[in-house]
A and B are shown apart, each in its own frame.
Chain A
Amino acid sequence: MTDHNLPTDGDDERNDELEHRDPALARGPEEPIPNPGLPEHEPRPTDIDEAMERRAELQVAAMFILAALLSVGFCVAYFAIDRDAIVAGTSASNLALGMTLGLALLLIGVGAIQWAKKLMTDHEIIEYRHSGASSDEDREETLTAFRQGAEESGIARRPLIRNSLIASVGLLGLPAVVALADLGPLPGDSPAKTVWRPGIRLVQDVDGRPIRPQDVQFGQLINAEPGIFFEQEIGGEVIEPEYEGVALNNAKAKAAVIVVRMRPDDINPAEGREDWGVDGILCFSKICTHVGCPISLWEQQTQQLLCPCHQSTYDLADNGRVLFGPAARAVPQLPIEVDQYGYLVAKDAFQEPVGPSYWERG
C-alpha cells in the first residue's frame, strides 16, 4: 500500500530515458492512473474533542485495571476452588482459571488496541526502503581491522601454528561422530522378527485366556497376544511370563495379532497357505504395514480390515491383500494349528516382517 504513496520521480526519469531511446515504448505511461499521493489527514473525534479523549483514556485504563483484578482473581481461584468440583458438566477450577486468565489477556490486548487507535498519534508517514548493505565507511573499516588482525597475529607467516590449528579444530568433529555409536547397537534383524515361534499359544489380550477353536464363532474377532507374555498353565504346569517391563512392551507392540473366524468357503488362501488356518480361523498381524497403527476394525460381513489412521483396507479373506489406501503390502499372516491340549498355537513364526515397510526389508 505504501508503494502507491512513493514519490514517482524515479519513474519519471526512467520514462524520459525510454522516450529518448525508443519513442514507441514511451507512448503508454507506466502508471495508468496518476499517483494520488497520501490522502489528506483527517483528525479523529478524540483528537479534537477533549471530553472524548478523556473518555477513551478512562476506557483504556478501566480495561487494564480490570485485567489486573482478573489476574488476582486467577490466583484466588487457584487456591480457593476445589479441584474436583464440577460446574455445568465441566471442572469448576478449570473454568474459573481459564475465564480469569483468558479475560485478563483479552482485556490487555483490547485496551492496547483502543489506546493505539484512539489516543496515539496517527499521522500517516512514508518510510522509504533503504539499502541492506552497510555504509562504505563501515565496510572499509571492518576490512582494515580484519587485515590488521591477520597481519598482527602472524597467521600467514607461521604455517606450523596455522596448520596445527586447522587440524585441532577440524578433528573436533570426530568426537561428535564417534558419540553417534551410542545410538546403536544396530538393530540387526530384530525389526524383521517377532517373538512368535512354533508352539506359542494364542491368548486373548488383557487376561491371557487361551483360545480353543470351538470357542470361536463365525464372525468372531479376538485381539490376541503370544501366550509367553502371560502366566500360562500348560498340561498342569504353570509357566512364568518370558518378558517383563520395557522388553515386554517392545515385544508386545510387534507381536500383537488378531484372530478371526470366517466361513471356510469364503476364504481364498494363496498357494502354500491352505493349512495356515484352523476351520476358518485365521490369524493376522495387528500392525498396519503402512506406518504401524494397530488395526482391529474388522467387518465380519465384508471381511475387510480397516486402518483408522490412513484408511488402508485389507481383505482378510484374500490373504490380507490391500484393497485400498497407502499400505504397500498385504498384512502378514501367522500360520496356526491346534496343540495337543486343544488350544490354538502358532504353527510357525511370521514369514515376513510385520509392521511398516522399511529399506532393507527385501
Chain B
Amino acid sequence: MLNRLSTRRRHPLAGVLVVLLGLVMIGGLYSALRPASADEAGKTDEELIQAGKDLYTVNCSTCHGLNAEGVVTADGNNYGPPLVGVGAAAVHFQVGTGRMPLQNPGTQAPKKQPVFTDEEVAALSAYIASLGPGPAIPSEDEYDPSGLSEEDIVRGAAFFRTNCTACHNYAASGGALPSGRYAPSLLDVEAIHMYEAMVTGPQQMPVFSDEVLTPEDKRAIIGYITLLKTQPAYGGSNLGSLGPVSEGLWGWLVGIGALVLAAVWIGNNSTRAGSR
C-alpha cells in the first residue's frame, strides 16, 4: 500500500537517480579519503608477493629457475643467474627498463619497451625481494635531483668524472666495451633507474654501494647528468658527443670529401661558346 502510494507520488526514474547519486557520493568520498598506501591495487604484501611469484613462474623461471636459484649450463656458465638477494631495485631496473624478459640471448640485454605494467613490476620486485635481502627500490627523495644546489651539482660532476666517464663517456652518451658490449647512453635514462643501476650493478656495470658512494653523492651525480641533458651545444652540432669517432668521420669523409669535389668542379672546363 505504502509502496504503491509512493511510486505514484514520485517520478518513476527518481529511484534510479537516488541510487546513482548515492554511488557517486560514495565513490567520491572513497577516492578523497582512501589512504595513499592503498595504491598498490589494494593488495597486501602477501598478495603482492603471490602475484609476483605467479608472474615470475610464467615469465622468468625458464632461465632463472623455478625458485630463482639460477640455471647453470653444461659448461658451468650462467644460463640465467640466481636472483636470491639481488633485491627489489635490481628487478625494478631490469624489468622496468625492458631489459628483462630477455628477447634473445646475446652479448648484452638492450633497453627496450617494458613488457610489464608498473603494478606487475612492483609485484615481481616484491617477490624477488622476499627471497633474500638486497637493495630496495629507492624512494623519490633519494634519487630526485630537483632542489640540488650548484655546489651539489659540482660535487656530482667530480664523482661522475671519476667513476662514470670511463665507460659512459664525458657527456654521458655511452661508449664501447670489449667483445661487442657497450655502456649505454645515460641521457634518456630516468633518475630512479640511474640510482638503481649504481646500487645493483646490472650486467657488466660494477656496483657502487651506498656505504662508499653515499646516497647524497648518487643524487648529486644524477643531478649532474640531468643538467647535461639540458646543456646547450655551444659549438653547434656535437655529433653525438662521441669524440674522435664521429668527429673524424665527419671531418675526413664529409669535410675533406666536399673540398675535393669542389676543387674538381672548379678545375673543370667552363662553358665554351662553341659547345653550346
Contacts and interface: CB of A to CB of B under 8 A. Distances in A.
B258 interface: no
Contacts of B204: 299-302
A298 B203 CA distance: 12
A336 B168 CA distance: 29
A266 to B, nearest CB: 12
B165 to A, nearest CB: 9
Contact of A90 (B177, B207, B234): B234
A215 B167 CA distance: 23
B206 A298 contact: yes
B212 A211 contact: yes
A95 to B, nearest CB: 7
Contacts of A219: 201, 206-207
Contacts of B271: 44-45
A42 interface: yes
Q: Which of A44, A49, A118 has the most CB of B within 10 A?
A: A44
Interface in A250-269: 260
B181 to A, nearest CB: 7
Interface string A114-146: 000110001000000000000000000000000
B212 A204 contact: yes
B274 A42 contact: yes
Given A42-B275, A45-B273, A297 B166 contact: yes
A118 B266 CA distance: 12
A48 B273 contact: yes
B196 interface: no
Contacts of A44: 270-273
A308 B272 contact: no
A311 B179 CA distance: 11
Interface string B216-238: 01000000000000001111110
Nearest to B213: A204
A213 B97 CA distance: 32
A182 B35 CA distance: 78
B177 A98 contact: no
A42 B207 contact: no
B260 to A, nearest CB: 15
B236 A216 contact: no
Interface string A208-245: 01011011111111110000000000000000000000
A220 B181 CA distance: 19
Given A90-B234, A301-B204, A294 B166 contact: yes
Contact of A43 (B166, B183, B273): B273
B162 A220 contact: no
B211 A89 contact: no
Contact of A220 (B155, B212, B273): B212
Given A45-B273, A98-B236, A223-B163, A299 B207 contact: no
A296 B155 CA distance: 20
A345 interface: no
* B interface majority secondary structure: loop
B233 A43 contact: no
Interface string B142-180: 000000000000010011001100110000000101100
Interface in A313-350: 313, 324
B207 A205 contact: no
Interface residues of A, number: 51
Contacts of B203: 301
Given A221-B208, A297-B166, A90 B233 contact: yes
Contacts of A94: 234-236
Contact of A206 (B158, B233, B272, B273): B158
Contacts of B274: 42-43
A152 interface: no
Interface string A57-94: 00000000000000000000000000000100111001
A111 to B, nearest CB: 13
A306 interface: yes
Q: Which of A113, A118, A215, A221 has the most CB of B within 10 A?
A: A221
Given A90-B233, A95-B236, A220 B208 contact: yes
Contacts of A302: 178, 204
A90 B238 CA distance: 10
28 contacts: A42-B273, A43-B272, A43-B273, A44-B273, A86-B232, A90-B234, A90-B235, A90-B236, A91-B235, A94-B236, A113-B266, A204-B212, A205-B162, A206-B162, A207-B217, A216-B209, A216-B212, A219-B201, A219-B207, A220-B206, A221-B163, A221-B207, A295-B166, A299-B178, A300-B204, A300-B206, A304-B178, A306-B178
Interface of B: 155, 158-159, 162-163, 166-167, 175, 177-178, 181, 183, 201, 203-209, 211-213, 217, 232-237, 266, 270-276
- Across the A-B interface, the 7 shortest Cβ-Cβ residue pairs: A221-B206, A215-B211, A299-B204, A42-B272, A220-B207, A296-B166, A91-B234
Given A44-B272, A89-B232, A220-B209, 5 more contacts: A43-B272, A206-B159, A207-B155, A217-B209, A313-B178
